[in-house]
Amino acid sequence: AAGMAAPTMEERKACWGARDEFWQCLDSHGDDAAKCEKLRRAFEARCPQQWVKHFDKRRDFLKYKKMLETEGYRPPEAAGKS
């Protein structure tokens, strides 16, 4: 299928650039996605759908990792305690 062709170097650069702009926007707006709607659409338009999913997961992971580094690990409250 044509949609599955590997992106060219130019396309990859465009995708990464769009992702970086979108992520910078999220960073500067405390992850308020509504303020970054346009950049989100550009990101989705320039990147293969699978990449978008991957980068979304990656961002969540990086945020979680950063939180652990800044706040330390806190075990979740034991379930069932009432």
Mean pLDDT, the chain cut into blocks of 10 residues (82 residues total): 72 97 96 96 96 96 91 69 54
State the pLDDT at residue 72: 82
Q: What is the pLDDT of residue 7?
A: 82
Distance CA 47, CA 50 (A): 8
The structure tokens 């650039």 sit at: 17
Match 């690990």 to its residue by tokens: 73
Question: For position 78, what pLDDT does the model report?
Answer: 60
Say what the pLDDT of residue 15 is: 97
This prediction's pTM: 0.76
- Is the distance from CB of 72 to CB of 43 less than 8 angstroms? no
Q: What confidence score (pLDDT) does residue 79 get?
A: 58
Contacts of 4 (CB under 8 A, 6+ apart): none
